[in-house]
Structure 1
Amino acid sequence: MAEHLELLAEMSAVGRMGTQERLKHAQKRRTQQLKKWAQFEKEIQSKKAKGEKRRKKGSSKEKQVVFPENVRLLEAACRNDVEEVRQFLQSGLDPNLYNEDGLTALHQCCIDDYEDIVLLLLEAGADVNACDSELWTPLHAAATCGHLHLVELLIAKGANLLAVNSDGNMPYDLCEDDATLDYIETAMAEQGITQETIEEARSTVERAMVNDIRRLVKEGVDLNTPLDHSATLLHIASANGYLEAAELLLEHKASMSAKDNDGWQPLHAAACWGQIQLVELLVAHGADLNGKSVLDETPLDVCADEEVRAKLMELKQKHDAIMKSHDKHKSLLQRRTSSAGSRGKVVRRVSVTERTNLYRKEHEKEAIVWQRQQQQESEAEDEDRQTDAELQLRVSVSWSGS
């Protein structure tokens, strides 16, 4: 800002200026004033920052955010940072660390096609058959993505070609790349894997579940006992398409109305995971097609599979039609019952004489009807006799003519 004495010295010169010149001079001085003010503010902030820095140096060490080991390893693997992953493994970090979904660094690198880190992890002892929360192995991931060189590497390291995920799929089921699929099928043939072996492997988990259910029944354990997330055994069988296990559970009165933490009933689980046989089975046993979850979702709302959606809609239409017919029949029965009751009351109020007259009239009507029937039968017999006579006459005439 301008000094006070400098401003006083300018007063006489400013007094001789015209209006426009005086405005320009004022604007110039204002600009100078703002610049000097900004510089002053900058110096103040600089001094404050220096003071804060000195105070921090004199205080204890600054706190730092430390992430868990599994997060650091997976994050470095996701960035394809080979050196950082190597340092972690050399420092003794477990290569099989996983996140909340059970995903390991090996799973992630098989998805992202980071071969260098896959080699590092396997050399450090990573489990080639590690399963995530949906039972996917690294081979499932590599086969799905069509990474042939990783599939070759994993199989060479002992990856299980018959590993079954929670949807009942093996790695070769999920592979759409022709070259990768050819390699997997060739490896399966070399290991002597047949169709019978494949079917047996697929049913292993369900067979184990069936055996567990039979054991629980024998021990008298409640089959509706809530498990993880309050899901029951019927929820699990329905979600995984375990038909034999579900039939066994229903045979022993497992509840179809039990709800998990999300308010899902077993039918929701079957619909969500596209298990059409389980949907039909549950509905046949009376499962609620209109059951609502915590978010007000029906089984149809959570179903993404078009075939299963069509089946659910068909079953719902049939169910609604049956219920409508049942309600109509029930209403008709109620009306009949009501009518019969009212007639009974009327009859009870009628006197004996009136009742006798009523019966007599009914008998007279019946007699009239009977007489009419007899008359009609007699007339019909006369017509038949007349027809027979005419025929005989025609025959005799024809014979005499010949």
Structure 2
Amino acid sequence: MDLQLHKAAAAGDAATVKTLLARGADIDARDGSGATALLVATHANKVEAARVLIEAGADVNAKDNIEDSPYLYAGARGHLDILRLTLAHGADLKSINRYGGTSLIPASERGHVETVDTLIKAGVAVDHVNRLGWTALLEAIILGNGGARHQQIVGLLIKAGADVNLADNDGVTPLQHARGRGYDEIATLLEKAGAK
């Protein structure tokens, strides 16, 4: 298996990526983990290498063996430049990761404010429920730290029309989770939005 393209992408060597593509390298070839060169570049947040691949037609939705695609991974990790490139080149907003969640859910959990804003504006469903029974709002509260970034994200999700009363699989609401963790600022935001 020729992984020169993957190596150049991982190193962020955009010039070599261009050269290899011009010589006919298979743009969407997979490595042992099922990753394309674009996903490898995305893992390392190598923006220029990713740009060359995307503009040459690399599949932004190609999933590896653990269901990550360049679009999903860039969203989850807050790699904003690559995320924007994937969105401009056919990212499947309905695609889901191995947890059955959209990119908005891990972005919310990890506190990537600008990424959450970008994904909401792109049209990712704010009330999508993953296999754990959690929405982006629930993950921002349950797995977040209650700090300023997660407060901003909760605000963005509310503004985007997230259902503030959509409970988890156990019937626990976002407000109950916020109160239970002592996240007073988030609880206040939820209450103002009509949370019970």
In structure 2, the partner of 1:144 is 76
Counterpart of 1:100 (choices 21, 32, 36) is 32
| TM-score (ref. length: structure 2) | 0.60
Identity %: 28
The 3 A distance-change label for structure 1 pair 178 and 194 is closer
Letter in 2 for 1:179: E
The 3 A distance-change label for structure 1 pair 181 and 194 is closer
In structure 2, the partner of 1:187 is 122
What is the CA-CA distance between 1:144 and the residue it aligns to? 2.1
Over residues 109-135 of structure 1, what are the superposed CA-to-partner deviations in whole Å (9 max), with x where a residue is unaligned? 112221111121112221111011111
Letter in 2 for 1:182: D
Larger Rg: 1
- Secondary structure of 2:17's match? helix
Letter in 1 for 2:26: D
- Conservation of the 8 A alpha-carbon contact between 1:143 and 1:180: yes
Letter in 1 for 2:113: D
Query: Paired residues, what number?
Result: 130
Over residues 184-234 of structure 1, what are the superposed CA-to-partner deviations in whole Å (9 max), with x where a residue is unaligned? 112116xxx463xx35xx6xxxxxxxxxxxxxxxxxxxxxxxxxxxxxxxx
Aligned counterparts, 1:105-116, within 5 A: 105-116=37-48
In structure 1, the partner of 2:153 is none
Give structure 1 regions of 4+ aligned residues with deviation exceeding 3 angstroms: none
Over residues 331-361 of structure 1, what are the superposed CA-to-partner deviations in whole Å (9 max), with x where a residue is unaligned? xxxxxxxxxxxxxxxxxxxxxxxxxxxxxxx
Aligned counterparts, 1:243-254, within 5 A: none
Letter in 1 for 2:118: Y
In structure 2, the partner of 1:170 is 102
Q: Distance in 2 between matches of 1:183 and 1:168?
A: 20
Q: Distance in 1 between matches of 2:15 and 2:85?
A: 21
What is the CA-CA distance between 1:91 and the residue it aligns to? 0.6
Structure 2 residue ranges without an equivalent (≥5): 133-168, 170-196
- Conservation of the 8 A alpha-carbon contact between 1:102 and 1:131: yes
- Conservation of the 8 A alpha-carbon contact between 2:27 and 2:58: yes
What is the CA-CA distance between 1:163 and the residue it aligns to? 1.0
**Bigger helix share:** 1
What is the CA-CA distance between 1:180 and the residue it aligns to? 0.9
Q: Distance in 1 between matches of 2:106 and 2:39?
A: 15
In structure 2, the partner of 1:130 is 62
- Conservation of the 8 A alpha-carbon contact between 2:12 and 2:47: no
- Conservation of the 8 A alpha-carbon contact between 1:140 and 1:174: no
- Secondary structure of 1:132's match? coil
Structure 1 residue ranges without an equivalent (≥5): 1-67, 203-239, 242-276, 278-402
- Conservation of the 8 A alpha-carbon contact between 1:162 and 1:171: no
| TM-score (ref. length: structure 1) | 0.30
- Conservation of the 8 A alpha-carbon contact between 2:9 and 2:50: no
Letter in 1 for 2:18: R
Letter in 2 for 1:183: T
